[in-house]
Structure formats: C-alpha cells, structure tokens
Amino acid sequence: MRIHFRKPGPSSLSLLYDEFQLPKAIRRSLNLILLANLFGNLHGIICGGGTTAMVGLANELHAGDLAFGFINGIPQAAALLQIPFSMLVNRTHKRKKYMLTLGLFSRALWMIFGLIPVIVPTNPAWLPLWTMIFLLGISSCCGAVINVCWLPWLSDLAPSRMRGRWFSFRDMLVAGVNLAFGLLVAWMLDALPVYNRYIIVFAVGGFLGMLDMLCFGFCVEKYSDSPRRLHIGRVLKNIRENKAFCRLVVMWTAWCFTSNLAGPYLARYSINDMGLSFMQMTVFGTAAAAVATVTVMSCWGKAMNTYGCRSVMLISTIATSLTDAFYLFSSYGNIWPVLLRNFFGAACWSGCNLAANSMQLSASPDEARPSYIAVFACITSLIGVALGTLCGGALLESWENAGWFAGKPDRLQILVILGVVLRLLVTFLLVPPLENDRDGTPGQMVSAIFRRVIPARYRK
C-alpha cells in the first residue's frame, strides 16, 4: 500500500499577508512581532499580576490584601510614564533603541525576584516585601516604554483592515502555547523545593521577557509620519476634541476599575481559602482559559468584521460581567467555580480585548498614535486597573479588620457581587454611545449566535 503525503499549503497568516500584498521584509517583521508577543505572554504567565507565581511569592513574603493590591497596581501606575515616553518616540523615531535598552533592562530585573526570600534579611520583617515592591516599581517604570513602541510599530507595519485578523491569529496561537507552558510552571511550583522554586521560575520568566525585547531588534522600523516634536498640551487638546476616542477611554477605564475590584484577588482566594494547588489553579485556570480562547477567538474576529467593534464589545462585556459570579458557589476544595469562571471569562474577555484594541487603533490618528495609545494606557491603567485593585484590597482588608462578612457570603464574595453589579451598569450605560465601524447591530449578532447554537428544529 502506497501512502501519499499531501503537500502542505500556505498558512492562514501567509494567506492574510498575500491578501494585502505585503513585501517580504514586512512579513518577516510581523512574524517577529508575533514571536515577541508569544515570549511576552509566556513572561506574563510568571511575572504578570495575579499569576500563581506572584501569588506564591507574595504569600512567601507575608503580603496582606492591601500590599497584594500594591503589587498588582504598581505596574499599572507606572503607565503614567507612557505619556513622556510617547513624546520621546514621536520626536526621535528610535523605537528599537528604547526596546533594547529600557525594555530589556525592565525584563532582566525579573530574573532576581526569586532571590529576594533567600538573600534579603528578614529583620526588619517588612524588608523583603518592600524590596520586591521597589524592584517591581523600577521594572515597571522602565517597561512603560514598551507599549508606546510595539503597538504603534505594529500599526505602521500592518494595514488597518488586517489588524483584527492578525490579533485574532496571535491570540489563538498564544493561548495554545500558554496552555502547555502554564502546566510546566505549575509543576515547577509544586514539585521544586521551597527554597529554590521561585529562583528558578522567575529566572525563566525574566529570560523569556528578554527574548520578547530581543525579537524587535530584527524588525524593520517603519513610521507613518516624519519625526516631530509634540507638545503635551496640544496633544491633550486634540484628544479631548476626539469624541470617539474619549468615549472609549471613559468606557474602558470604568470597565477596568469594576473588573479589578475583585478580579486580582480570585487566584489568591482560590489558593489560600479554597485550598487549591498551583497545578489545579493552572489546569482549571490558565489551561481552561487557553482552551476557551482558542475555541472562540476566530468567532469574535469574524463577528467583528460583520457586526462591528461596538456590537462585539456590548455582547462580550455583558457576558463577562457575570462570570465572576461563579465564585459565589465556592467551597473548600471545589474546583468548579475556578474552572467555569476562567473558561467562560476568557471566552468573553477575548472579545472585549479584541474590540478594545481595534477601536483604540481606529480612533487614533496615524501622526500621533503613540501619544494617543500612551494617554489611553495611562488613564485606563492608573484609574482603571491600579485604583480598582487598590480599592478592592482596601475593602477586603478593612472588612477583615472590622470583622465583617466572616460567614457566607464571605468578604470576597461580597466584593464579587459589587463588581458584577457595577460592571453591568458600565456596560449598559457606556458601551452603546461608542462608534461602530460596521452596519451590523448587537441584535443581529445575538440572532446569528442563536441560529448557530440552537438547531432549527428547536427554534419553533
């Protein structure tokens, strides 16, 4: 019997590049940015806010709820520096230089985080924790340049009509790799000896972050406009007059604030109060989220091309608002709230993020896009993520000190209820005024989903 092997055809990414007739150098650079994003996401599995590794290290350093809020909020507060960095990038056109200096240093610092419990004296007791917070602040400040470089860089390389599908392909690829890597990290945290588990894990995380930056060293630098000196006052005036962009900033800031009241504390709650292991958190958290993202991301991309960003944003935010409520049914050793929240949460969040990224790029002009992205990131990160996280930590700690909500529902579940209600209010009040880039409506999108999910014989 003769076996015939079919010659592999071009990948979906190659077909996408062919559709827009991109030259070889641009294709290579976009692939390198895709690889950089992949390394960056693997770095984030270890070093991102609220990850199992960060929860474990914070527990090792005896961080309370408010201190844990600081650990999660500092990287967001550092987004303030994106505004001056964006001015610098616009004036000098040296994205590659900044990524390979400040960005690389920011990621390299993470390699020493795991050494803190070993080399920093525990007298006074607060010194190791605040050493971590200090190093996190330096890394975050230097890393503020990354966002204002890579996203406009991608925008200048990729035509506007292909960005949604490129992001969709990227997110599916990243989700699949995150699944395998998350399991490896969880195994390391569970299996390695306590005294060196964080040394190894954070060394790996820092190294992956450095690879993220190094990929940009081989990309073509392309700019849609000539170098120009932008004045912050004029930029802010132009942004204030851009109604579509302002409405998006207000909506996404409020959404991030309400999402981060309880969100960053759920992983810690799952480990400390529900008694789940690092491996369980990864399997029913990171892995479930990766499977969900791979499953639905292409659907969100197609829906956005047909019904528009606003329709995707409205449907995905309504669904996402409800996912934290699974924790209202939590109990010791019960994995179902974690699994359901992460699976459905990731499926819905991927739609929110895809719509937000596309709307952010389309609402910002080419000649000042780094500044617009910097202002967007600054406001949403500082007021939305950082302030929301700190408010959530302050509420949890104050309720604990006052002895409130010691039974069922407990203090985190009360915070979850508050977050769900506020997120729904933000969705219904602030998403409809956003501009849509297609003629499709949310109602048509829901009808299409209903027809796809429910067989015709049951729709009578």
Q: Considering only CA atoms, which of 166, 318, 170 is closest in space to residue 255?
A: 318
Dump pLDDT digits (tens) for 385-427.
889 988 998 899 899 888 888 788 889 999 999 999 999 999 9
Residue 356 domain-assigned (yes or no): yes
CA–CA distances in Å: residue 119 to residues 48, 71, 112, 114, 122:
23, 20, 10, 10, 9
CA–CA distances in Å: residue 258 to residues 130, 134, 224, 387:
27, 27, 36, 10
Residue 23 has pLDDT above 70, yes or no: yes
Q: What confidence score (pLDDT) does residue 7 get?
A: 44
**pLDDT grade for 454, boundaries at 50, 70 and 90:** low
Choice between 267 and 229, residue whose per-residue pLDDT is larger: 267
Secondary structure class of 134 (helix, strand, coil): helix
CA–CA distances in Å: residue 35 to residues 23, 211, 292:
19, 9, 21
Instruction: Give me the mean pLDDT over the 352-364 stretch.
Output: 84
- 3-class DSSP string for 274-285: CCCCHHHHHHHH
**pLDDT grade for 11, boundaries at 50, 70 and 90:** low
Residue 95 has pLDDT above 80, yes or no: yes
Q: How many residues does the chain have?
A: 460
d(CA 207, CA 229): 35
d(CA 56, CA 113): 12
DSSP at 113 = G
Full residue range of the structural domain in which residue 321 is found: 22-458
Residue 10 domain-assigned (yes or no): no
Instruction: Give me the mean pLDDT over the 78-86 stretch.
Output: 82
Q: Are 322 and 340 in contact (CB under 8 A)?
A: no
Instruction: Give me the mean pLDDT over the 226-245 stretch.
Output: 78
Residue 5 has pLDDT above 70, yes or no: no
Q: Report pTM.
A: 0.74
| Percent composition of the chain: helix, strand, coil (DSSP 3-state, to 5) | 80, 0, 20
Structural domain total, the chain: 1
Residue 64, Cβ neighbours under 10 Å: how many? 14
Residue 60 domain-assigned (yes or no): yes
Q: What confidence score (pLDDT) does residue 3 get?
A: 45
Greatest mean pLDDT range, 77-81, 148-152, 253-257:
253-257
Place of tokens 């490896």: 184
- What is the crossing angle of helices 82-92 and 232-241, to 10°? 110
Instruction: Give me the mean pLDDT over the 223-243 stretch.
Output: 76
**pLDDT grade for 228, boundaries at 50, 70 and 90:** low
Residue 312 domain-assigned (yes or no): yes
**Which of 192-196, 222-226, 454-458 has the weakest average pLDDT?**
454-458
Instruction: Give me the mean pLDDT over the 150-173 stretch.
Output: 82
Instruction: Give me the mean pLDDT over the 111-125 stretch.
Output: 89
- What CATH number does residue 281 fall under? 1.20.1250.20
d(CA 191, CA 208): 21
**Which of 1-5, 411-415, 438-442 has the weakest average pLDDT?**
1-5
DSSP at 62 = T
Residue 66 domain-assigned (yes or no): yes
Choice between 213 and 77, residue whose per-residue pLDDT is larger: 213
Q: What confidence score (pLDDT) does residue 4 get?
A: 46
Q: What confidence score (pLDDT) does residue 65 get?
A: 82
Q: What is the H or E stretch that residue 216 is in?
A: none
DSSP at 81 = G
Secondary structure class of 439 (helix, strand, coil): coil
Instruction: Give me the mean pLDDT over the 18-30 stretch.
Output: 88
Q: What confidence score (pLDDT) does residue 428 get?
A: 92
Would you state the structure tokens that stand for residue 272, as one six-digit string? Answer: 């400390």
Dump pLDDT digits (tens) for 286-323.
778 878 877 887 788 788 878 888 888 898 899 999 99
Residue 205 has pLDDT above 60, yes or no: yes
**pLDDT grade for 16, boundaries at 50, 70 and 90:** confident
Residue 2 domain-assigned (yes or no): no
Residue 1 domain-assigned (yes or no): no
Q: What confidence score (pLDDT) does residue 230 get?
A: 63
Instruction: Give me the mean pLDDT over the 25-33 stretch.
Output: 91
Question: DSSP characters for 372-437?
Answer: HHHHHHHHIIIIIIIHHHHHHHHHHHHHHHHT-S-SSS-HHHHHHHHHHHHHHHHHHHHSTTS--S
Q: Which amino acid is at 380?
A: T
Residue 1 has pLDDT above 50, yes or no: no
**pLDDT grade for 257, boundaries at 50, 70 and 90:** very high
Residue 17 domain-assigned (yes or no): no
Greatest mean pLDDT range, 200-209, 273-282, 399-408:
200-209
Dump pLDDT digits (tens) for 421-438.
999 999 999 988 887 777
Q: What confidence score (pLDDT) does residue 20 get?
A: 84
Dump pLDDT digits (tens) for 56-70.
888 888 888 888 888
**pLDDT grade for 8, boundaries at 50, 70 and 90:** very low
